[in-house]
Structure 1
Amino acid sequence: MTVLILTCEQDVTADLVVAQLHTTGVPMVRLDPADLPGGVALSGEYVNGAFRGQLSTGGRLVSLNGLRSIWLRRPGVPATRVAEPSPWLTEESSQALYGMLRGTGARWMNDPDAARRARHKPWQIRHAQRSGLPVPATLITTFPQAARDFAERFPDLVVKPVSGTHPISGARPQELPSTIPTSRIAPGTDFAAVAFGPTLLQRRIAKVADIRLTVVGDRMLAARKALPPDADPDEVDVRYATSGSPWHPVDVPARTATAVRAYLRDAELAYGAFDFVEDADGIWWFLECNQSGQFGFVELDTGQPISRSVADWLSHDGPDTETHRNGRMRSAP
């Protein structure tokens, strides 16, 4: 049985898992849907109530009937590397590839429909609330007056993009979305500009640490980056922080673990990279859950076996029966 990894060519996170799969001897094939048709070819036959399908890439022919699992990591858009790309060819290629893969019975990390839904930040926020996770007061609006009223109720705010997009393999340079850091709102801001596009405002949590919780099936691996005592309060985005303090393994509070399990179960996700901030009372405040989030930087600092956990999940034939926190195996509740 073969593991199929759908991702772009330059993906260090996928490289880590590929290396782990090689050590186990589990058959694996990696491809980018952006290369279909061309570098990737496929065929599916539906005859007499049966299905037979094949994928070809890099000189390898893989039976779709023999797929064990599919990791939807960061795939490119189908048919974007052909000589003459078109929306029609992209739609045809997408329908053919994902339609065939859905009929294989392989396990998904994550299911395409669930992953697409889970990318929406407004959906994440509401789903986190329903799952029992603390969420900072948030407003998404194009009404300037609504933003002004919100700022009166919550004077210390940050602004962040509504979308969580990342560059798509095969896209033209001018089409690549910019990465916009979360920023603190200056006092006296007029908010007139929110009329030109949806704006996400959120109450700033006076954090003492950032938390990254990576969940793979039933396995939880959490890491904590403490905020230096002299940290600039305007430096709210951990991705752009000047502090060089490392990530350290940390246990997950029981209430948070329960809520996170509910979040992933109801979202139908097998993998999620959760970002929290911890306040002085030890509360983990939910910021977002990236259904295809990076983890190499955490694994490098902490030594947590995240890539091994992903490889184990992809190699496994049945449902998970254990939970894994910070390298220690425990029975699942």
Structure 2
Amino acid sequence: MTVLILTSDQDVTADMAVVELNARGIPVLRLDPAELPGGVDLSGEYAHGDFEGHLSVGGRVVSMAGLRSIWVRRPGVPAAHADAASAWLTEEASQALYGMLRCTGARWMNHPDAARQARHKPWQLWLARECGLPVPATLITTFPRVARAFAERYPDLVVKPVSGAHPGDGTLAVPTTRVRPGEDYRAVAHGPTLLQRRVRKRADIRLTCVGEQLFAARAASGAPGADAPDTAGVGGVGGVGGVVDVRFDPDAGPWRPVDVPRRVADAVHGYLTRAGLAYGAFDFAEDADGIWWFLECNQSGQFGFVEIETGQPIGRAVAEWLAGEPLGPAGPPDADACRADPTHP
């Protein structure tokens, strides 16, 4: 049976799992919904109470009934690369592709419904607290007076986007930034603004969860003393004081493996279960007392940089989950393995 991976051609992180699957001769079909129709084609027939569907990529045709799992990694917008791209065609292509895939018995990492809900930052913060994870005091508002009152209670704040866009996503991304003293907060009226009590962190933690397996990595915070004024901000709310976002901090790291406290492990497993996720990349800020403060969970977060720096076998764990079985030692490459991923020879 075949593993279906929905992602873009340039997704190097997905390659790490594909290599593991190919080495064991497990068939893989990798496609980007942005290429439907044209580079990707599909067909589904509903007759006599049965459904029969097929996918075609690069001349290779796979039956949807033969899919063992579906990894919704980082797919493009359906029909985005079509010659006659339009919002209407995108909706038609999305309905056709994801509607047919829902008719299969394949396991999802992660199911589109669960992934859509999991992206919402306010819901993440609520669920994390429900599951027992420490969450910094947070406000999302468009009321300047409410923001000012929150700042009076928590004078040391950071501002960040509600959407949490990552700088590698190809969309606008703004770093988490400290709010400058004396901010009047009038700018929050122009759009929802997320303010959060700053955790005086000594390290950042990335906890990658694949099914029941947990892989934690720790990066010590950047060099101290970087408290020079900074005018960056979100929605017009200014910032002050160094880089507090590990994604933009050249002095952070390197990433090193770290054990997961039992309390955190239990809470994270509970989070994934309630969210209906098979995969999640959690970000925590570790304070001076060793407490891991929940910041967010990305349901399709990158793990390649962690595996490269720590040697943790995350790609293999993903491959095993997708295969639905433990992976034995890699065998010699053969023709079938080489054909398993037609878009990446």
Question: Normalising by the residue count of structure 2, what TM-score does the alignment of the two structures yield?
Answer: 0.88
User: Is the aligned partner of 1:160 residue 2:191?
Assistant: no
The match for 2:313 is 305
Question: Normalising by the residue count of structure 1, what TM-score does the alignment of the two structures yield?
Answer: 0.91
* Structure 1 spans left out of the alignment, 5+ residues: 170-175, 319-333
1:83 Cα deviation from its structure 2 partner: 1.4
- Structure 1 Cα separation of the partners of residues 96 and 192 of structure 2: 34
User: Is the aligned partner of 1:94 residue 2:102?
Assistant: no
The match for 1:119 is 119
Which structure is richer in relative contact order (CA contacts within 8 A, separation 6 or more)?
A: 2
- Structure 2 Cα separation of the partners of residues 52 and 272 of structure 1: 32
Query: Are 2:157 and 2:197, in contact at CA under 8 Å, matched by a contact in 1?
Result: yes
1:177 Cα deviation from its structure 2 partner: 2.7
| Residues 8-28 of structure 1, C-alpha deviations (whole Å, 9 max, x = no match) | 111111111111111111100
| Residues 251-301 of structure 1, C-alpha deviations (whole Å, 9 max, x = no match) | 100110111011000000000000000011111000000000001111111
The match for 2:231 is none
| Residues 210-267 of structure 1, C-alpha deviations (whole Å, 9 max, x = no match) | 0000000000000011125635353210001121531111110011011101100000
- Structure 1 Cα separation of the partners of residues 297 and 179 of structure 2: 23
Residues 61-80 of structure 1 aligned to structure 2 (within 5 Å): 61-80=61-80
- Structure 2 Cα separation of the partners of residues 119 and 27 of structure 1: 30
1:167 Cα deviation from its structure 2 partner: 8.7
Query: Are 1:69 and 1:106, in contact at CA under 8 Å, matched by a contact in 2?
Result: yes
Residue 194 of structure 2 aligns to a residue in which SS? strand
The match for 1:321 is none
2:214 to 220, 232, 240: 220
1:49 Cα deviation from its structure 2 partner: 1.4
- Structure 2 Cα separation of the partners of residues 97 and 245 of structure 1: 41
- Structure 2 Cα separation of the partners of residues 51 and 76 of structure 1: 26
The match for 1:194 is 188
User: Is the aligned partner of 1:148 residue 2:148?
Assistant: yes
- Structure 2 Cα separation of the partners of residues 157 and 230 of structure 1: 18
The match for 1:235 is 243
The match for 1:109 is 109
Share of identical aligned residues, percent?
67
- Structure 2 Cα separation of the partners of residues 248 and 28 of structure 1: 31
User: Is the aligned partner of 1:246 residue 2:254?
Assistant: yes
User: Is the aligned partner of 1:293 residue 2:263?
Assistant: no
For 1:58, the aligned partner's letter is G
The match for 1:28 is 28
Residue 82 of structure 1 aligns to a residue in which SS? coil
- Structure 1 Cα separation of the partners of residues 63 and 166 of structure 2: 31
1:122 Cα deviation from its structure 2 partner: 0.7
Residue 95 of structure 1 aligns to a residue in which SS? helix
Aligned residues: 312
- Structure 1 Cα separation of the partners of residues 268 and 222 of structure 2: 27
Identify the range of structure 1 (278-287 vs 237-246) with the bigger mean alpha-carbon deviation. 237-246
- Structure 1 Cα separation of the partners of residues 141 and 180 of structure 2: 18
Residue 82 of structure 2 aligns to a residue in which SS? coil
| Residues 160-195 of structure 1, C-alpha deviations (whole Å, 9 max, x = no match) | 0000346999xxxxxx63110000001111110000
- What's the C-alpha RMSD, in Å, of the aligned pairs? 1.6
- Structure 2 Cα separation of the partners of residues 67 and 167 of structure 1: 33
1:113 Cα deviation from its structure 2 partner: 0.5
Residue 69 of structure 1 aligns to a residue in which SS? strand
Q: Any runs of at least 4 consecutive aligned residues in structure 1 with deviations exceeding 6 A, and if so which?
A: none
* Structure 2 spans left out of the alignment, 5+ residues: 228-241, 327-345
For 1:5, the aligned partner's letter is I
Query: Are 1:77 and 1:168, in contact at CA under 8 Å, matched by a contact in 2?
Result: no
Query: Are 1:212 and 1:276, in contact at CA under 8 Å, matched by a contact in 2?
Result: yes
For 1:78, the aligned partner's letter is P
User: Is the aligned partner of 1:133 residue 2:127?
Assistant: no
User: Is the aligned partner of 1:12 residue 2:12?
Assistant: yes
For 2:196, the aligned partner's letter is Q
For 2:288, the aligned partner's letter is A
The match for 1:327 is none
User: Is the aligned partner of 1:204 residue 2:212?
Assistant: no
Residue 73 of structure 1 aligns to a residue in which SS? strand
1:67 Cα deviation from its structure 2 partner: 0.1
CA 1:86–1:229 in structure 2 vs 1: closer, same or farther (change >3 Å)?
A: closer
- Structure 1 Cα separation of the partners of residues 226 and 116 of structure 2: 35
Identify the range of structure 1 (239-248 vs 223-232) with the bigger mean alpha-carbon deviation. 223-232
